[in-house]
Homo-oligomer: A and B are copies of this chain.
Amino acid sequence: MMRTRPLKVALLGCGVVGSEVARIMTTHADDLTARIGAPVELAGIAVRRPGRVRAGVPADLITTDATALVKRGDIDVVVEVIGGLEPARALISTAFEHGASVVSANKALLAEDGAALHAKAEEHGADLYYEAAVAGAIPLVRPLRESLAGDKVNRVLGIVNGTTNFILDKMDTSGAGYTEALDEATALGYAEADPTADVEGFDAAAKAAILAGIAFHTRVRLDDVYREGMTEVTAADFASAKQMGCTIKLLAICERAADGRSVTARVHPAMIPLSHPLASVREAYNAVFVEAEAAGQLMFYGPGAGGSPTASAVLGDLVAVCRNKLGETTGPGESAYTRLPVSPMGEVVTRYHISLDVADKPGVLAQVATVFAEHGVSIDTVRQQGKDGEASLVVVTHRATDAALSATVGALRRLDTVRGVASIMRVEGE
């Protein structure tokens, strides 16, 4: 079935990822042809600043008019690696309208508007693939939506942001504070000049929304994801974690409720036991732990970002989408039939590690314990430490709802004997 007319690809964006996609499409053209069953060629590359195009990218393919490229009429597949909401969204829509399938690495857009884009793809009989949008090179979208298509996923627990994992790993291994570790991440190119999207958890939250939607066959939007950044994690938190046999990771957690009738999605720093496979994910690596009813516990590990790894994911999707084009079919589209609602953070059930600064006098522990009991939060362990008239109390709870924990902490703050709540951290992965 080797056809002679090559499949034509329009590449939107030619930065770190796009230039790698262009390079590999050129250097590995024969392999791609063999794997697709037909030659595939770069028909055009749309960029904003043509002066910035990297060496090795064919200059004659460069255009600044992305819309005209997508509208050309002979494009089989549009590869979108611009990122951001606009003009990516409009260009993808235009691509579908002109008969192209789309491979995208755009997590923000997929998390924000995935349902509408999927609907548009289906309307036009096109594919929308986006393996590269979640955890870079790690195959995750395909395993979740295809390999586990006969199973029931109950939980996804992942390190899906390399920048923050690098910072937390550095704090863990060197004892550095947050600012010092961030500076090192910036110097090494792991953190951007403005690290907000990473350290405040926005990037991870977009990935959590995408993962939760696929895992539970429902729709989860970015706004549905509870989000806490990791800028307030301290060296003291790591010391506390170590005492518990834990480390601290920024986790994206998607769960099906115990009754199966709703789901939750959240991103926040959490303590996890050192024995958990995610605890040993170092530096800027990503890893996602999946719990499914029949499969049990699976983990997918690899580089979560970077030009080459992301290009690998884009090209895997490109091969699949091209094969579908040749076979005049489409791959699996959106699967959101369960229509499970997303519950608010207050309904999440987990364990908590709370550090309190308290007055160093008799009866404080009894007072604190009473507050926990009044709010139905059961205490697992308590550790008291005195220091110069002040004392600290570290409480680790059994499982309780986030709402109950919040109410407990509110009441603790009102106690005269509690000088302050030094930290509250969730404990996951047990």
Contact A294 B309, CB 8 Å, known A24-B150, A31-B152, A280-B277: yes
- CB-defined interface of A139-172 with B at 8 Å, one 1/0 digit per residue? 1001100111111100000000000000000000
When chains A and B are docked, how far (Å) is the Cα of A303 from the Cα of B295?
A: 7
Closest chain B residue to A150, Cβ basis: B315
**Per-residue B-contact encoding for A272-297, CB less than 8 Å = 1, 0 else:** 00000100100000010000111111
- Whether a CB of chain B sits under 8 angstroms from the CB of A312 is yes
Contact A148 B303 (CB under 8 A): no
Check if B142 sits within 8 Å of A35, measured CB to CB.
no
Report if A314 contacts B (CB, 8 A).
yes
With the chains together, A149 CA to B146 CA distance in Å?
A: 16
- The 8 Å CB contact of A146, one of B148, B296, B308, B320, is B320
On whether the beta carbons of B299 and A301 are closer than 8 Å, the reply is yes
- Min CB–CB distance A183 → chain B (angstroms): 25
Instruction: Determine if B315 and A294 form an interchain contact, defined as CB atoms under 8 angstroms apart.
Output: yes
Tell me if A346 counts as interface (CB < 8 A to partner B). Answer: no
Contact partner of A150 (CB less than 8 A), chosen from B32, B143, B303, is: B32
Q: Is the Cβ of A298 less than 8 Å from the Cβ of B301?
A: yes
Let me know if A131 is at the binding interface, CB within 8 A: yes
Interface check A313, CB cutoff 8 A? yes
> Which B residues are CB-close (under 8 A) to A386?
none
Mind listing 17 A-B residue pairs with CB under 8 Å? A24-B294, A31-B152, A32-B150, A34-B217, A139-B148, A142-B143, A147-B313, A149-B316, A151-B315, A287-B299, A294-B312, A295-B303, A295-B309, A295-B312, A296-B308, A300-B300, A300-B301
Q: Is the CB of A146 within 8 A of B292?
A: no
Bound: A146/B316 CA distance, A: 6
Residues of B within 8 A of A277 (CB): 280, 301
Whether a CB of chain B sits under 8 angstroms from the CB of A376 is no
A294-B308, A301-B298 as given contacts; A318 in contact with B150, CB under 8 Å: yes
In the bound complex, residues from chain B placing their C-beta under 8 Å from that of A28 are: 150, 152
Q: How close is A222's CB to chain B, nearest CB, in angstroms?
A: 25
Closest Cβ of chain B: how far from A104's Cβ, in Å? 15
Interface residue tally for chain A (C-beta within 8 Å): 58
9-residue interface stretch from A203-211, A329-337, A401-409: A329-337
Cβ of A315: which chain B residues have Cβ within 8 Å of it?
149-151, 294
Partner of A335 from the list B34, B150, B303, B332 (CB cut-off 8 Å) is: B34
A298-B301, A302-B295, A323-B332 known; A139-B150 Cβ under 8 A: no
How far does the alpha carbon of A44 sit from the alpha carbon of B401 in the complex, in Å?
A: 47
Please determine whether B302 and A302 come into contact, CB atoms closer than 8 angstroms.
no
With A32-B150, A34-B338, A299-B302 given, name 12 new contacts (CB 8 A).
Answer: A139-B142, A142-B146, A150-B312, A151-B315, A280-B280, A292-B312, A294-B309, A295-B309, A295-B312, A296-B306, A297-B302, A327-B327
Q: Is A20 in the interface zone, CB < 8 Å from B?
A: yes
Q: Are A137 and B294 in contact, CB atoms less than 8 angstroms apart?
A: yes
Contact pick for A147, options B20, B139, B280, B330, CB 8 Å: B139
- In the bound complex, do residue B150 and residue A131 qualify as a contact, i.e. CB atoms below 8 Å apart? no
Is A235 positioned at the interface, with any CB of B under 8 Å from its CB? no
User: How far is the CB of A200 from the nearest CB of chain B, in Å?
Assistant: 27
Residue A311, interface by CB 8 Å:
yes
